[in-house]
Structure 1
């Protein structure tokens, strides 16, 4: 399980939503082994005055937050971040300097999905990768 939140300035984020979603999900499938049907992406396009960022970033500055079940190894999480940066840079021409990725891990028992907790779910993919 992984849910993605993407934040950016409206004029920068909106034109790349579909392509960004495809790149992110492709990397999640490759690195985490998520099924193609498990795409949970939320976009937060913001007005420039509501999205403050450091002076050494451009208006394309984008934040990607990943919430997922705990259980992946440190190596897997590092690979996920590296692959996301590489693929987003190559396919969307977004500078790695303008991209930040944060992973939030949650115990499965802390997720409520389809009327049960995440630790009660029968998943068709492995979380311990």
Structure 2
């Protein structure tokens, strides 16, 4: 299971949401080997009065939070971060200093999915990549 939250200024984020979602999803499929139908993205376009960030960031500043079952290797997570930064920078010309990604890993038993704790689910994909 992988869920993504994306935060940014509304004027900057809204025009790129669909393409950014496709980039995120393609990267998850490639690196984490998730199933193509497993797209869970939530966008949080914010007003300037609701989004404070350091002076060394621009209006393009993005915060991407990725929540997932624990079990992926450190190398896999680093590969995902590098690919996302490269793809976002390359596709939208957003400076790399304006892209922040945090991965939150949670034991399967801390997720409730389809009426069950995550560790009681039969998954059709591999977590240990």
Interval of TM-score (by shorter of Structure 1 and Structure 2) = over 0.9
Q: Larger deviation: 89-98 or 4-13?
A: 89-98
RMSD of aligned residue pairs (Cα, Å): 0.6
CA contact 1:4–1:41 (8 Å) conserved in 2: yes
User: Mind listing any 5+ residue stretches in structure 2 that lack a counterpart?
Assistant: none
* Deviations, residues 95-117 of structure 1 (Å, cap 9, x unaligned): 11110000000000000000001
Q: What is aligned with 1:17? A: 17
Equivalent residue, structure 1, for 2:74 = 74
CA–CA distance in structure 1, aligned partners of residues 79 and 70 of structure 2: 16
SS at match of 1:78: helix
Superposed displacement of residue 69, structure 1: 0.1
- Following TM superposition, the consecutive aligned residue runs of length 4 or more in structure 1 with deviations greater than 2 angstroms are none
- Conserved in 2, the CA contact under 8 Å of 1:19 and 1:92? no
Other structure's SS at 1:49 match: helix
Q: Tell me which residue corresponds to 1:52.
A: 52
Q: CA-to-partner distance for each residue in 1:45-94, whole Å, 9 max, x for gaps?
A: 10011100110110010000000000001111100100100111111222
Kindly state the Cα deviation for residue 21 of structure 1 after the two structures are TM-superposed. 0.2
Partner in structure 2 of residue 43 of structure 1:
43
The whole-number CA distance in structure 1 between the counterparts of 2:69 and 2:92 is 28
Aligned pairs (5 A) from 1:1-129: 1-129=1-129
Gap runs ≥5 in structure 1: none
CA distance in 1, matches of 2:26, 2:117: 26
Matched positions, count: 129
Name the TM-score, length of structure 2 as normaliser. 0.98
| Secondary structure of 1:103's aligned partner | strand
Q: How far, CA to CA, are the matches of 1:7 and 1:86 in structure 2?
A: 18
